[in-house]
Structures are given as C-alpha cells and as structure tokens.
Amino acid sequence: MKQRIIIPALFVFLSLAAALALRPQQEVVITIKDGMPMIPVALPDFIIRSSSAPVQAAAAEIHKVLSDDLKYSRVFQLLPKSYYGYISALDPDKIVFKDWESIQAKYLLTGVLSPGESGTIQFEAKFHDVKGERFMIGKKYEAAARALRRAAHEFADEILKAFGERPIFMTRIVFVSDRDGNDELYMMDYDGENQTRLTFNKVIDYMPAWSMDGQAIAYTSYRRGNPDLYLFRPFEGKNTAVAAKGTNFAPSFSPDGKKLAFCSSLDGNAEIYVVQSDGTDIRRLTFNKSIDISPSWSPTSREIAFTSDRSGSPQVYIMDAEGSNVRRVSFGGTYHDQPAWSPAGDQIAYVSRVDQVIDLYVLNLRSSQIIKLTESNAINESPAWSPDGRHLVFSSSLPGTNQIYTIDYDGANLRRLTSKGNNKLPDWSRR
C-alpha cells in the first residue's frame, strides 16, 4: 500500500501529510482579440477525382477534421451548408469569388483528393481570401489514408498561423489512465484521437507535464519503490531520473525550457524546488513549516504560482522565480489549489471547493475578476491551458468515472475526450 501514499486528486494536502509521515526520512496582419466576431469561412465538400472507396472515405474524414478544427478555434465560423445551394457549384480551378462573397463568406477553403502512388492518397488544400479574390495559402499532401487526419490538422494550423494565431491542432495531451489495470501515462491528439499508452510498469506513474518543446514529459513514478521524478522522451524511448530522494511530484517546466519546478520533501517538509532540465543544480525555493505544492510557471519564466496552506487553508500564491516576493492571490474561500498560469500571463485557472463541490475557476490577475468554468455536482480538477489560451483540459467525475474533458476559457463548449477506464491529470503540450 505504500505505493498509494500520495494520491494526485482533490485532497492532496491530506494525502501528502500521510506520505510525509510514512516515508523513510505565416503574412496576413490580422490580430484576433477576445470579443471580436468570428471570421466566416466557407468549407464546401471536397472535389474527389476517384470512385475509389478509400479516397471517398478519406475525403469525408479530412473534411470533418478541418471542419471540427476551425469551429473549435473560436477564430473562424463555418457558413451553413444550406448557403452553398444559392450559388454555382465549386470549380477549384476557376473560383467565382463574387458568388462566395454573396453568401457572406470572407474566406474559402477548398480541397481536392485523388489516388496517389502505391496506395497513397493525394490531398491538395487551398485557402482563399474571397473579398481580395486571391489565393492565400495551400499545401499538397500524399500519404496513406491513416496519416491524412494529421495532415488535415497541420493545414488547419497553417490557417491559424496565417492570421497570427498560435497553432494548436498538432498538439497532444498527456494524461494518466488505469484502463489497462494500472495507472500509466497515455498520450492523445488534442481532440482525443489516437490514444496511446506510453509507460509500461506494474507501479504508479502519474502527474505528467510536457516540456516546452513537446519532446519530453516529466512525471512521478514508483518504479524504484520511491516517488521519484523522471524525464521521459516518448519519441526516443529515453527515461532519466531527475530527483530520487524524498517525495517528488507535480513537475512544471519553465517556458524558456531551462528549468523544472516541482514539489519535494527532500528536506523533510513539502516545499517547492527548482532544478535544471537536465537534472542538475536542485535548489529549494520555499522555506516554512506549511505545505507548499503545485507549482506553475508564468509565461515569462520570472514567477511561479503555487499552493500553500501557510494561511491556515490551501490558497494560491505567487512568488518570483528565485523564491522571493511571495504574495497571496486567492481569497474568499477555504480551498484553492492546482493553479495553472495562462499562456498570455493574465489569468490563472485553479480548483476551488465550495460546499463540498469541486469546480474550476479562472482568476484575471489584472482585474481580479473570477469566472467559474464548471457547474456540476462532480469533482473537476487538474486544469491545463491550450497553447492559444482559449481552451483548457481537465479531469472530471461528471460521468461517474474520472474522464478528460476540454472547455473554452469562458465555460463554453464542454467536450469529453476519454471514456475507457479512469483518466486524470492531463497536461496540454505547447507545440
């Protein structure tokens, strides 16, 4: 049972206390801002130059992926399909832009699919400025059908970049699942597709955190009988121990990629430490008799948000990256935990317990306004931001089991990503 001393869930303080007691000592200059109306885009059915069933199926899947991506972005709004019936059928080689403008499209996304060589499929995507009557960006892909989903995500990202937006559709989410009988690390695309197991142990692996380049994952594992911190490179298969003394968990990479903050009982009490990303130069940042956990870096790498019960109950604090200038930022409640700093640096998402109900909230650091994101009689926890700051991923017991969901920054568009087993502790890669 020692392997279950620390439970990365709601009552982390109680679990931690028990653990301490039992351990051995693109060029378009357009800026999209919140409140601006979404950009109308026409996405007619793709042109399919083949009667092949695989090509037909691929066209349907790619069209759906692009449609879902653009709608999810909160930058673009797809025109209703009924609008297309008022104009002539699309000829991708001779576009009548006035037709598309007449149905209120500002941009037009076209696609052509045809058979490639050796069983591959060719997909050519083009994005057009309707009012300017010009071609903006395009790309041609040739791949096996199973790889075209990712090609669709890639082109959706190219569209985002053309508008000065951060790409998110090629990103991944790492999480913990017991679907195969034991808590292990898994990875999936941002939309929940391609769920893949990463670790294979008979012990607990949990609290994963992506590195800023999306090539490494820091996490805690009991593989050596102690809750040690590891650095795992899933695309290389390399696994390296970072901290192997005391109780080590809740890692968070600095945005500059140089450091890793984490919680450890290395010196006897739960404190915040920082270590170089290669595992060298471990330094302690907090010094008090209270429990300090859940570090989250600011996007400038100059500050760290964390949870502490130094005021008598778990609250969110901010300190400079060297451990100085500590100040409390959460008020009006007795349980605030798991801070997650937004990519823009102006907001912190966190978990709060009110009347025994656990929900997600977002604190605007500039205005001090607080927005409640979730509203349910469930445990909603472990928030992590998307790279563009418009969405969050989190875990919830809403369906009766723990599952991974995403939600927009304003509480809209709740979407469930997992269903098999219990799934928790998600983190969203930055690229």
Q: Is the pTM of this model over 0.85?
A: yes
CATH superfamily of 171-428: TolB, C-terminal domain (2.120.10.30)
**Which one is the CATH code of 39-162: 3.40.50.10070, 3.40.309.10, 3.65.10.10, 3.30.420.40?**
3.40.50.10070
pLDDT at 34: 56
Residue ranges of the chain whose pLDDT lies below 70: 1-36
pLDDT at 272: 98
DSSP of 269-310, one letter per residue? S-EEEEEETTS---EE---SSS-EEEEEE-TTSSEEEEEE-T
pLDDT at 20: 37
Which tens digits make up the pLDDT trace of 26-52?
A: 333 333 445 568 999 999 999 999 999
- CATH 2.120.10.30 range(s) for the chain read 171-428
pLDDT at 354: 86
- CATH 3.40.50.10070 range(s) for the chain read 39-162
pLDDT at 36: 66
Could you list the beta-strand ranges (E) of 172-298. Answer: 172-177, 184-189, 196-197, 205-210, 217-221, 228-233, 238-243, 248-253, 259-264, 271-276, 283-284, 292-297
Q: Which single residue is written with the structure tokens 């300190």?
A: 319
- Cα distance between the two ends of the chain: 37
> Which sign does the torsion angle of CA 169, 171, 176, 178 carry?
positive
pLDDT at 355: 82
